[in-house]
Structure 1
């Protein structure tokens, strides 16, 4: 079969599938008053400063709620005119823009990055056989790392897209074969935007404004803090602390400012299969492709959920909805729609607290209330097939490579069989969730809130079983690789024991200080004093380093007191651990008490283990601003 015929048949199949979906009956009427009470309750309980919530159909607005303040200082209320930075929702406009060029025959999803933009540096060890293609960039399956702290902190207000791509090019390294696993990253969308600029001779923002924003009536939307954003932009808040406007290094990754009402027209475009007010901007088959994951192993294994072209799925009681989220410090955004049920949702808030997810759950539950579940039949797994699922899985294919050192010590996925049923525990201490097999290698995760996300069992290049999850863009590791029980638990046990010893040693330091003072008054000296001092220095250094890295602070990406402190502690910890080893060797025989000797020996051993682990992850002398 020719390479051109295959996409054509796929498109026809998608259109036929959509025709069946649209034939579904519409959901019951929305209980507007009840929804308003729920929204107001969540806003009050979680201290959301301001919000916009819409529920709509393909051609009409069903529900609108503007509430709270866009700015707590001047007490300006949220209105229809209020613009919110929508962060990664911007990526959907990148995909739609690329599809416009595909429709015009100027671009193809199979086109290779190195051919389209040879001046953009990237590293792909598999380029000869598996080049990075446009589809990989849009589906986040190129294997690129996410932005570094430096990229997040960089002020891109005066940079062109071409110049911005010269900053931190190291994130453009394929960590696995392109088209293997999906891992959400901000690295790919700006590359597609730059390709669009080269194909059209226009600045990306100008192209989007001409071919999408204006035809959709989104005349007040901006990509910078200009125009309507100078007067009507919501201020983001972390708690009650205002967050400065984020001048993104590369705006196509998340720079759009827009109101919910204007964003609604874009979502309606997708709901109407590329048509808006009688104008066919995109072919229906292209919208179907935007919603369909294709390039990952999970998709090729039959997964129907996942991440399409900057458009991901959310499954609720078996119904597949499409959309995208956006998040930055102090702000959250969300759009979701189901063309067959003729319902769309938009939620914009100027807070990054827990209220956003509660709003998403509440609004979706209200929209889907009374809609019968559409769960596929249970697939009868054989005992051999069940055992293929059962086991321990460690997180892999991280969104940000540098986080792997921490997640490898804290995260664990386990699937077990109980009374003939598969149960999944996605994280140590998390609730156990039933899995509903819908194929030999596909199952639905039956969340008690009604979500039915899909997990797919595939194999990596080494032949290891891998669980690929379709839980949305925010997951730090969408995949988990099967391992033995002891390999799964040993890092967690050692990690938690080492962390406990760090805390204990800091507190012990105070005890040793008091003991040392008392002994000195008696003319005596605390045994192995240098050893105890360097152990406390080691423990304190790594605790401070961990706390600093855990902060959501843009100053980590630049030379600042915080980032310099990370650098100093990342060196001081290993030096102190080596000093502790030397001190133990010199003073071991002079330490009175078997218990004391045992504790100090274990502490030194733990310190050396931690330092070795951190060194393996490149976290010794960590200059995070680079």
Structure 2
């Protein structure tokens, strides 16, 4: 379960526009050729990034190539990490929900095409398209229900005694389809637990017990557990955020991300996948089921041939000419990357006990380079289309499948994409550079990655939005260039005016307050726009402070979360009152330059208020 950084409701737009990551430029290291070289390279990454420990597992067919724990599992006790140290693997846990459903489907006890309403009518959810597009079991596992992700209060629940049903009943309002199920993908931690509940109903067993009996034991994952067991207390790696140890997080819906496992356990899990469901000569899950697990199927893009995307808790991760099947995971202070190449029967797992995505990425690149070095490409090249195509795809696009609906206001601005054609090549990038990708036309509506040969972009008809483009898991809708650049530039202008008013507004107010010429109406012209800016800044600061520990500070009702809600409402009210004041005091005796600056600032405040209100970002009770 990816730690919910995206749900920090009160961290407003300018934080995303002005905060940038910086780092030292480094000479590109040589790719390791042997396990000792790989180990030294990984240890260097740990040292350079300040990451305490990593658990690593590499497999090749039936062989375990390398299993190790490196670094410190606990800094305070100076405990070394080993191959038996237990790490928290987060959302990689979701893979076992899909495996369980597939196994039960093989036994004829359930089907991916079954309607969720028929199997579990007691689970509350809202689907406006229930009659024509009911939610199916496969939608739960491919995140195509249209549901919002779990809210902060779900993450903050942290009660180890909850049953799965109690966890699902806590905040059922997040389970509302925002678009027709089976059309767009949006990652939601709410879907897999509903599938796990169906498994409990079908088997009569607690989900964790079913997985223990039918997967952990046959696979030989002898220390894997969903709970803070006594063994975890002995062997569990302490998780760190900025070198601060984190308490154990009891996830309210354990199937989505609660597993603790060692590198040795993960090696056995990897061998299960690369051996295509066979364990010690026994076919635990059919290869056809694994292929379905690895195949995105339920979005409109997938139905039009899109290869990249999210299958049944299993997504594609391109690396050079290769496409790994994978899943990642994250909890507060721990990150995991689990990936394998089915064709070449190799795979790896990386688990770190720090909230350091840069470290995980560097280690992953080292391992992928090492692992793929002996292989030729596993891709089948698709022949580019020969005729000249109409350029109907070029333009500016905005995502229409947000993971967290209340954060969509910022995604619409900072995640705008530009797509353009050059001959039969399609290029895509972020609006102001970065993230450049190249695709080659295969048909007039399909484009493939030139590295892997897999279909990476398709044009499709969305039942609600009309003509859209699917790029991997993103669903993109065309917008005008004026809107693409205009909303961004207006945001920049607003932030500059806002910050300027906070800096200079106090000076102006003191001046007009003390001068003998200063009158009430004159002060009000400056006071209300200044207060509006100040309210927004204070609200944002509270959001940033809350974001340092969002589950405790924002996921629960308290001084900070309530203050952020109240101040955001006061910001909206002050923005409106500023405009009213400027109209009423338009003949105030002060510099016309100052007056018109206040007019521009107040108009920008009102526009921002309208925008944020439209997308539900004003008055957000983050504890609900």
**TM-score, normalized by length of structure 2?**
0.90
8 Å contact kept, 2:139–2:298: yes
Query: In terms of mean alpha carbon deviation, does 239-248 or 428-437 score higher?
Result: 428-437
- Residue 122 of structure 2 corresponds to 119
8 Å contact kept, 1:379–1:438: yes
2:401 alignment partner, SS class = strand
Query: In terms of mean alpha carbon deviation, does 137-146 or 415-424 score higher?
Result: 415-424
- Residue 495 of structure 1 corresponds to 491
- Residue 355 of structure 1 corresponds to 359
Query: In terms of mean alpha carbon deviation, does 391-400 or 490-499 score higher?
Result: 490-499
CA distance in 2 between counterparts of 1:73 and 1:516 reads: 57
CA distance in 2 between counterparts of 1:74 and 1:352 reads: 20
8 Å contact kept, 2:125–2:172: yes
8 Å contact kept, 1:30–1:367: no
Deviation at 1:291, TM superposition (A): 1.0
8 Å contact kept, 2:60–2:345: yes
Find out whether 1:84 has 2:87 as its counterpart: yes
1:165 alignment partner, SS class = helix
8 Å contact kept, 1:396–1:481: yes
2:218 alignment partner, SS class = coil
2:587 alignment partner, SS class = helix
Go from structure 1 to structure 2 and tell me whether the alpha carbon gap of 1:526 and 1:376 turns closer, same or farther (over 3 Å shift).
farther
8 Å contact kept, 2:509–2:526: no
- Residue 461 of structure 1 corresponds to 463
8 Å contact kept, 1:408–1:492: no
Find out whether 1:512 has 2:508 as its counterpart: yes
CA distance in 2 between counterparts of 1:162 and 1:242 reads: 31
Q: Which residues in structure 2 correspond to 1:341-490 (within 5 Å)?
A: 341-353=344-356, 354-373=358-377, 374=379, 376-380=381-385, 382-385=387-390, 387-418=391-422, 421-444=425-448, 454-462=456-464, 464-470=466-472, 478-490=474-486
CA distance in 1 between counterparts of 2:494 and 2:79 reads: 50
Of the candidates 519, 532, 546, which is equivalent to residue 538 of structure 1?
532
Of the candidates 132, 137, 140, which is equivalent to residue 137 of structure 1?
140
8 Å contact kept, 2:385–2:424: no
Deviation at 1:63, TM superposition (A): 2.5
Deviation at 1:592, TM superposition (A): 2.5
With CA pairs under 8 Å and 6+ residues apart, which has the higher RCO, 1 or 2?
2
- Residue 38 of structure 2 corresponds to 35
CA distance in 2 between counterparts of 1:231 and 1:614 reads: 48
Query: In terms of mean alpha carbon deviation, does 480-489 or 391-400 score higher?
Result: 480-489
Q: Deviations over 1:265-304 (max 9, x none)?
A: 1221121111111111111111111111111111110112
Q: Deviations over 1:512-547 (max 9, x none)?
A: 245346x44x67569721232222221122233334
| Structure 1 unpaired stretches of 5+ | 1-27, 472-477
Q: Which residues in structure 2 correspond to 1:253-402 (within 5 Å)?
A: 253-353=256-356, 354-373=358-377, 374=379, 376-380=381-385, 382-385=387-390, 387-402=391-406
Deviation at 1:322, TM superposition (A): 0.7
Q: Which residues in structure 2 correspond to 1:43-122 (within 5 Å)?
A: 43-122=46-125
- Residue 10 of structure 1 corresponds to none
Go from structure 1 to structure 2 and tell me whether the alpha carbon gap of 1:434 and 1:68 turns closer, same or farther (over 3 Å shift).
same
Deviation at 1:569, TM superposition (A): 1.4
- Residue 17 of structure 2 corresponds to none
Deviation at 1:113, TM superposition (A): 0.5
8 Å contact kept, 1:410–1:428: no
CA distance in 1 between counterparts of 2:193 and 2:542 reads: 29
CA distance in 2 between counterparts of 1:262 and 1:396 reads: 38
8 Å contact kept, 2:426–2:447: no
Query: In terms of mean alpha carbon deviation, does 84-93 or 579-588 score higher?
Result: 579-588
CA distance in 2 between counterparts of 1:29 and 1:505 reads: 54
CA distance in 2 between counterparts of 1:29 and 1:492 reads: 43
Of the candidates 183, 202, 222, which is equivalent to residue 186 of structure 2?
183
CA distance in 2 between counterparts of 1:437 and 1:410 reads: 27
8 Å contact kept, 2:397–2:479: yes
8 Å contact kept, 1:319–1:375: no
CA distance in 2 between counterparts of 1:234 and 1:540 reads: 43
Q: Deviations over 1:538-573 (max 9, x none)?
A: 112223333444525112111022211211211110
Go from structure 1 to structure 2 and tell me whether the alpha carbon gap of 1:269 and 1:30 turns closer, same or farther (over 3 Å shift).
farther
CA distance in 1 between counterparts of 2:389 and 2:437 reads: 21
Query: In terms of mean alpha carbon deviation, does 181-190 or 607-616 score higher?
Result: 607-616
Go from structure 1 to structure 2 and tell me whether the alpha carbon gap of 1:351 and 1:540 turns closer, same or farther (over 3 Å shift).
same
Deviation at 1:403, TM superposition (A): 0.8
Query: In terms of mean alpha carbon deviation, does 616-625 or 136-145 score higher?
Result: 616-625
Coordinate RMSD, CA, aligned: 2.3
Go from structure 1 to structure 2 and tell me whether the alpha carbon gap of 1:588 and 1:383 turns closer, same or farther (over 3 Å shift).
farther
Aligned pair count reads 588
Go from structure 1 to structure 2 and tell me whether the alpha carbon gap of 1:625 and 1:75 turns closer, same or farther (over 3 Å shift).
same
Deviation at 1:183, TM superposition (A): 1.1
CA distance in 1 between counterparts of 2:394 and 2:129 reads: 32
CA distance in 1 between counterparts of 2:329 and 2:437 reads: 27
